[in-house]
Amino acid sequence: MAYSDKVVDHFNNPRNMGSFKKDEEGVGTGMVGAPECGDVMKLQIKVQNDTIVDAKFKTFGCGSAIASSSLATEWLKGKTIEEAQKIKNTDIVQELNLPPVKIHCSVLAEDAIKAALADYQKKADGALVDAK
């Protein structure tokens, strides 16, 4: 099975690789894993005024998992929280031309986005309570 050109491109030149400090203000962290294949994905967003101004990822896994999370961070940047919620794994599958056996990589990326958004929301709600 050959990887699509887009997967190879993301794999060779991953966008936004790295991490933010977890406790930094406005940062949401999503940490997910796929027990079936052992892939691990960490995806972080930095939010200002309801908009994702930056995103970073670190992925331990196959090329498709790296490409999926790399693409996800690209898409996240500039989106509002609400828009980001709408990113679906099927969008990633389509963009990267993932074969059926690699669809779970895109699912993992969607899970990571959801987890990061939830973590940000939790922190934001907590800050709101503190402020009151």
Partner 1 sequence: MDHQHTHGSSPRELQMARSMCWHCQSEVSGEYFCDRCVKVQPVSKELDYFTCLGFPRRLTIDQRQLEAKFYELSRAFHPDFYQNKSAAEQTISLGNSALLNTAYRTLRDPIERAEYLLDLEAGSVKQIRNSPPADLFEEILELQDTLNEYRAAGRTSETESTLRAKLQSERNMLEQRQRDMEVALQHLFVQWDALQDRGEATSQARAERNRILKEMRENLSNRTYVKNIVSDLVSTVG
Which stretches of the chain bind partner 1, using CB under 8 A?
31-33, 35-40, 42, 58, 60-61
Q: How far is the CB of 77 from partner 1 (least distance, A)?
A: 21
Q: Does 62 qualify as catalytic in the annotation?
A: no
Q: How far is the CB of 101 from partner 1 (least distance, A)?
A: 17
Terminal-to-terminal C-alpha distance of the chain: 56
Q: How far is the CB of 33 from partner 1 (least distance, A)?
A: 5
Q: Which of 5, 19, 24, 37 is catalytic?
A: 37
Q: Does 105 qualify as catalytic in the annotation?
A: yes
* Cα 129 versus chain centre, distance: 27
Residues carrying an active site annotation = 37, 105
